[in-house]
């Protein structure tokens, strides 16, 4: 299949799709289709990740508010998903573009075989000039298999299709050093240059305050997934339809997250970001240094603690002694056996070929400075 000049994934969330009195949902989708059509005519391949099924379902059912029960949410999504796709299909068809509905759960990408199948399907759709419209399968997904937010889903789709760029359309104009709606001293951030800087920003967002409880935390997590895989991320205000055109034209709008200069290879991307961890393993500083600095396998002698219940060949989070996530991998031992062998020399816990580290050596050096 011939690779087109530029490959982008665009994510649009519920806050934009619900529309306003002045600009209803149909107008939002029409503007979106017009912008993506202009990019498509320039020879670009576009995939769209969308929210909105539950909201449209609730509106169709004339509900006073969003239900809280899982069964009601899933049923509302079943009603709304068809309406959402009809809106996209009509808006894109007017411009001569075909769309394809792609519904996924986290389990679809956590299985290596199903992940590869999804990659091939998306690749074929892009080769045909079809715009994949991807959404979480809210009708069937259980809590265990949910992405939790479509920011994470959009980053994983960008990884799956080998995108050059991920565009996150939101309801703020860019990333700030704090929540600009509550902090008058919050400074705008136009560029995030590397994973180390992104890690610091993520720590601030997780650390407290209203900024960390909103959607920015998930967007930073999505940026971490994408940039570590060599994908540039752009975050900007999608309420103005001119903004997406500016982004697609390469203009400096919003905040840009620059991709890693040493991106993870394909299988390592899947290990790091698509798997569903069943537990975690906490390392001592010596083991952290061996993994991050020297590319070693993890041995039981360097394990300080084991959390969760997992079996052999299941995914685990690899944590530093202070709780930071170093990466993920497939365990060679189950949790019960590992607890018995913890601290012993010569016992392999995660082989380096079944491990993907997402912490930079520089960030690890900072954390180890006190040891």
Residues 115, 163 within the same domain: yes
Q: What is the mean pLDDT of the chain?
A: 88
- Same domain assignment for residues 19 and 80: yes
Residues 290 and 337 in one domain: yes
Give residue 291's domain range. Answer: 277-368
In tens, the pLDDT along 172-225 reads 889 888 777 777 888 889 999 887 787 777 666 554 444 333 478 889 889 999
pTM of this prediction? 0.88
Together in a domain, 131 and 173: yes
> Is residue 190 one of the residues assigned to a domain?
yes
> Each residue of 262-312: pLDDT tens digit?
899 999 999 999 888 999 999 999 999 999 999 999 999 999 999 999 999
Is the Cβ–Cβ distance between 243 and 237 less than 8 Å? yes
pLDDT, tens only, 140-182: 655 544 566 789 999 999 999 999 999 999 888 898 887 777 7
As a whole-number percent, the residues of the chain with pLDDT over 70 amount to: 89
* Predicted confidence (pLDDT) at residue 313 exceeds the cutoff of 90: yes
Task: Show Cβ contacts of residue 67 under 8 Å, excluding neighbours closer than 6 positions.
Answer: 58, 73, 76
Strand partners, 348: 299
Same-domain check for residues 253 and 187: yes
In angstroms, rounded to a whole number, what is the distance separating the alpha carbons of residues 41 and 37? Answer: 6
Q: How confident is the model at residue 120 (pLDDT cuts 50, 70, 90)?
A: very high
Shared domain for 105 and 218, answered yes or no, is yes
pLDDT in the model for residue 303: 97
Asked whether residue 45 falls in the same domain as residue 181, the answer is yes
Q: Which of 267, 298, 322 is the last residue of a domain?
A: 267
Tokens of 58: 């609730």
Please say whether the beta carbons of 145 and 210 come within 8 A: no
Q: How far apart are CA 250 and CA 81, in angstroms?
A: 32
Is residue 109 domain-shared with residue 216, that is, in the same domain? yes
Total domains in the fold of the chain: 2
CA neighbor of 108 nearest in space, from 92, 94, 96, 119: 119
C-beta of residue 222 within 8 angstroms of C-beta of residue 168:
yes
Residue 2 in domain: no
Q: How confident is the model at residue 1 (pLDDT cuts 50, 70, 90)?
A: very low
18 plus 119 within the same structural domain: yes
Q: What is the pLDDT of residue 179?
A: 73
């Amino acid at each position: 299949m011939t690779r087109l000049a530029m490959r982008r994934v665009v994510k649009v969330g519920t806050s934009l799709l619900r529309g306003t009195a002045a600009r209803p949902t149909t107008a939002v989708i029409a503007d979106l289709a017009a912008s993506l059509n202009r990019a498509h005519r320039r020879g670009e391949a576009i995939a769209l990740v969308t929210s909105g099924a539950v909201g449209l379902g609730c509106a169709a059912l004339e509900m006073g508010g969003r239900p809280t029960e899982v069964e009601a949410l899933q049923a509302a999504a079943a009603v709304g998903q068809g309406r959402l796709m009809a809106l996209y299909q009509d808006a894109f068809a007017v411009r001569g573009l075909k769309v394809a509905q792609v519904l996924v759960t986290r389990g679809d990408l956590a299985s290596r075989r199903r992940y590869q199948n999804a990659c091939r399907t998306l690749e074929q759709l892009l080769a045909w000039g079809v715009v994949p419209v991807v959404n979480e399968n809210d009708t069937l997904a259980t809590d265990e298999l949910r992405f939790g937010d479509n920011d994470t889903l959009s980053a994983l789709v960008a990884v799956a299709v080998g995108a050059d760029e991920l565009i996150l359309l939101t309801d703020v104009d860019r990333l700030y050093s704090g929540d600009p709606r509550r902090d008058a001293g919050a400074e705008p951030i136009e560029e995030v240059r590397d994973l180390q800087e992104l890690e610091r920003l993520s720590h601030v967002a997780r650390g407290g305050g209203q900024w960390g409880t909103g959607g920015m935390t998930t967007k930073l997590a999505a940026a971490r997934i994408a940039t570590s895989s060599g994908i540039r991320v752009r975050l900007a205000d999608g309420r103005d339809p001119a903004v997406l055109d500016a982004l697609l034209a390469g203009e400096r709008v919003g905040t840009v997250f620059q991709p890693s200069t040493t991106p993870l290879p394909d299988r390592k991307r899947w290990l790091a970001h698509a798997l569903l961890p069943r537990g975690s393993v906490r390392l001592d500083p010596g083991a952290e240094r061996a993994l991050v600095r020297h590319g070693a396998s993890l041995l039981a002698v360097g394990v300080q603690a084991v959390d969760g219940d997992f079996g052999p060949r299941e995914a685990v989070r690899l944590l530093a002694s202070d709780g930071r996530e170093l990466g993920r991998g497939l365990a060679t031992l189950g949790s019960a056996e590992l607890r018995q062998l913890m601290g012993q020399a010569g016992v392999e816990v995660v082989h380096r070929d079944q491990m993907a580290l997402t912490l930079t050596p520089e960030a690890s050096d900072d954390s180890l400075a006190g040891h």
